[in-house]
Amino acid sequence: MEAIELLEKKLQREIAARQEAERILEEKSLELYQNNQKLEQLNGELESDLIHLFENAVFGIALTSNGDIKTVNSKFGEMMGYAVEELKALTIKDLTYKEDVSKSYQLTNALIAQQVDQFELRKRYRRKDGSLFWAKTKVSPVLNQDGSTRYHLAIIEDIQFLVEAEEKQATLIQTLQSQNKELDAFAQVVSHDLKSPLRAVNTLVGWLKEDHAEAFKGEALEHLQEIESRIGKAFSLIDGILEYAQVGTENTETEVDTKALVKYVSEMIDVPQQFQLSLEGDFPVLKIARSQLQHIFQNLLTNGVKYNDKDVVKILVKSWETSSHYLFSVQDNGIGIPAKYFDKIFTMFSTLNEQTKGTGVGLAIVKKICEHYGGTIIVDSKEGQGTTFTFSLNKQHTKL
Amino acid sequence: MDKKTILFVDDDFLEHKKFERALKKSDNPELSIESFNDGSEALKWLESNKHAPPQLIILDLNMPLMNGLELLELVKQDHYLKRIPVVILTTSKNPKDIEQAHLLQAAGYIVKPNSNVQYQDTIQLITQYWMTSQSVA
Amino acid sequence: MKGIVFTELFDMVETHFGLEMVQNIIDDAQLPNHGAYTKVGTYDHKEIYRLVGALSQRTDTDANALIKAFGKHLLQTFVASYPALFENSSDSFSFLSGVHDYIHVEVRKIYPDADLPHFATIDHPDGSMDMVYTSSKKMYALAEGLIEATMEHYNEAFRLDKEFIEEDGSKVRFTISKK
């Protein structure tokens, strides 16, 4: 073949290839254009979704750069009492209560220095009208593709109500604590001031009896003795009231072996010659103020012994548990209580016995202690046969 | 041997009288008593009698001007007076008072018995114990 | 198959055998587009077999030897056109082990329809490297040329062994040891 012919053929090939390339390019361009259109549409949809989110968010949203406000949503404008356009001319510092500026500044600097990925703080914002409100602000960076910071995105939640509620609660607790203290002091003073004149009367009656034995005889002596007995009762009452007031103020809870405690109490109280104490069931070890639990058993055992007309006084103490409570019962073979008094005996100042052996405070204290430990106390009784007190203590309050 | 003295501090004059009567009936009727109505008077006396301190101080808590715990604290801070045993005799059963008294090194804390008979027994017990106990010279 | 393979083949043939040989193999191969290939186009890969087959007959040279030589030529044009690809790797092995995971990935971004062979590389404790070629096009000889030219590009003395895992050449293991 001639060289010229070969070159011509090569040229023709190249022209054909070029035309083919142009066709492909055109095809690709069209494809690119269509893809671009699609992207733009998607972008538009995404943007309108974002704007919708931005504008309808329940939180204030602000985009800032070096503390300057770039844009905010209308919610933030509403929170601050400014128009959105007004806010765009301001800085975060302008909107922050001056006392909170430095901590806001420190955290923002840490974010810029990339010491932290984001931060959250409670601070006060200053509205256009000068009023302040507490808000929780969460700030995170919006990054460019190269990793540099484009904006800081701040999400602002008004927590004024929360802060006010917290303050109210704190004040309330403080008030309650000081009231409790006052009450305690009050009870102490009252008991002291009530007892002093009683002691004086008691002493003087004693001296009258001693120094003027000749003058006080027969009915006169009986009257003096009656005064002494009434004074004795008044003393017990004052002590009882004071004790009632103190239930729950003792907070030294220790491990208490309930079985050992019942035995200890039974040795401490006055018991008749013929006395039988039996224990039944698994007695738990509890976390409880020892003196309080001791008070319960002391009261119930003493009642069982005191209100008893049998030759052999028998007391049975049982213990068992449910999923939520520890239970104890104290059963005696005493004189019993009529059913109509079952509720009354747990209220203050009620004694049923005419001879008034008790002050009428003891069972009220027992009930208060049980309730303090999330439990209760009930009574069951048959006149002439005996009484059973059953009380419970919540495990949540007393479990080790 | 010098005559032994008990310092008795209580704001109720009836309590002074009661204590004296109880002491007379006790096994130590020859003990001398110095009685004061409140802590500051008692402290004045103590400071001017350092050469002949009492064997025992019996102290009420609730008193005007200077109460029992305040006096106790001052006594225990004094280089000489701190050796004198102090027994609290009060109507208060307040656990905080009891704890505070022991923290301030009271030798004892006794709640005044309500009954006259028991009061007599208690005073007998206190004086007998502390008059038997050897004090620091 | 990408048009660049055809245009480069013609370049090589023209350089070594002259323009007449190019025209001859185009005529022999009876191509649908009469040899009017453009780099940006995509063509049936069987056309390259026909062209190489024609060249083999006319020059009385083994077809695989021609393909291998073509592979070497192709690599040189790559070096000239895309120097950055080679500068990123400090030696031949690091370049070769990046072919599949890096270079082919980039190629696909530009030519989504490119039908590329699969390369798996395995480093051996003795310092040698296996490169396993897998492709239904069975152009292992092209791979062989490319590998050899790569070693030469990095100025490294080497030994290249090849083992047919599939007898038809659709899967071939190259073992490269540096000397």
Q: Would residue A39 count as lying in a domain?
A: no
In chain B, the residue whose alpha carbon lies closest to the alpha carbon of A186 is B94
In which order are the strands placed within the sheet that holds A386-394? A275-281, A313-321, A325-332, A386-394, A377-382
Tell me: do A82 and A202 sit in the same domain.
no
Q: Which CATH class is domain C83-178?
A: alpha beta
Q: Do chains B and A touch (3 or more CB pairs under 8 A)?
A: yes
The C-alpha atoms of residue A137 and residue A125 are separated, in whole angstroms, by: 10
Domain segments of chain B as ranges: 5-132
- Asked whether C74 and C5 are in contact (CB, 8 A), the reply is yes
Q: CB A16 to CB C33 under 8 A?
A: yes
Question: Mapping DSSP to helix (H, G, I), strand (E, B) and coil, where does residue A383 land?
Answer: coil
B120 vs A: CB within 8 A = no
Choose the closest CB to C38 out of A3, A6, A20. Answer: A20
CA distance A35 to chain C (A): 15
- Domains in chain A, number: 3
- Asked whether A132 and A98 are in contact (CB, 8 A), the reply is no
Tell me: do A213 and A232 sit in the same domain.
yes
A10 vs C: CB within 8 A = yes
Residue C101 DSSP one-character state: I
Q: Would residue A118 count as lying in a domain?
A: yes
A11 vs C: CB within 8 A = no
C3 CB neighbours in chain A (<8 A) are 17
The domain boundary residue, chosen from A95, A123, A158: A158
In chain C, the residue whose alpha carbon lies closest to the alpha carbon of A6 is C20
Nearest to A397 by CA among A295, A299, A297, A289: A289
The domain boundary residue, chosen from A106, A123, A158: A158
Q: Domain span at residue A367?
A: 250-400
Work out the pLDDT band at B2, boundaries 50, 70, 90. low
Tell me: do A133 and A63 sit in the same domain.
yes
Tell me: do A184 and A130 sit in the same domain.
no
- Asked whether C95 and C156 are in contact (CB, 8 A), the reply is no
Choose the closest CB to C23 out of A9, A17, A25. Answer: A9
The C-alpha atoms of residue A185 and residue C172 are separated, in whole angstroms, by: 97
Q: Would residue A104 count as lying in a domain?
A: yes
Low-confidence ranges of chain C (pLDDT < 70): none
CATH at A126: 3.30.450.20
Q: Would residue A9 count as lying in a domain?
A: no
A6 vs C: CB within 8 A = yes
Tell me: do A63 and A153 sit in the same domain.
yes
Task: Return the pLDDT at B4.
Answer: 84
In chain B, the residue whose alpha carbon lies closest to the alpha carbon of A204 is B14
Question: Mapping DSSP to helix (H, G, I), strand (E, B) and coil, where does residue A141 land?
Answer: strand
Tell me: do A258 and A398 sit in the same domain.
yes
Of residues A199 and B95, the one with the higher pLDDT is A199
Q: Would residue A166 count as lying in a domain?
A: yes
Tell me: do A233 and A272 sit in the same domain.
no
pLDDT at B1 over 50: no
**Is B5-132 assigned to CATH 3.40.50.2300?**
yes
Tell me: do A271 and A396 sit in the same domain.
yes
C71 vs A211, B17, C24, C61, C75, CA distance in Å?
137, 128, 21, 16, 6
The domain boundary residue, chosen from A219, A246, A273: A246
Q: Would residue A34 count as lying in a domain?
A: no
Interface of A with B (CB under 8 A): 188, 191-192, 195-196, 198-200, 202-204, 206-207, 231-232, 235, 239, 242, 250
Tell me: do A149 and A169 sit in the same domain.
no
Task: Return the pLDDT at A128.
Answer: 94
Q: Does the complex come out with an ipTM higher than 0.90? A: no
Tell me: do A265 and A399 sit in the same domain.
yes
Q: Is B116 left (phi over 0), alpha (psi -120 to 50) or beta?
A: alpha
Residue pLDDT tens, chain A, 400 long: 678 888 898 899 999 999 999 998 899 899 899 999 999 999 999 888 888 888 888 899 999 988 899 999 999 999 999 999 999 999 999 999 999 999 888 998 888 888 899 999 999 999 999 999 999 999 999 888 888 888 899 999 999 999 999 999 999 988 888 887 787 778 777 777 888 888 899 999 999 998 998 988 889 999 999 998 888 888 888 887 777 777 766 667 889 999 999 999 998 888 888 889 999 999 999 999 888 898 899 999 999 998 899 999 999 999 999 999 999 999 999 999 888 888 888 876 665 554 445 556 788 889 989 998 999 999 999 998 999 999 999 999 888 8
- Asked whether A274 and A311 are in contact (CB, 8 A), the reply is yes
The C-alpha atoms of residue A65 and residue A61 are separated, in whole angstroms, by: 14
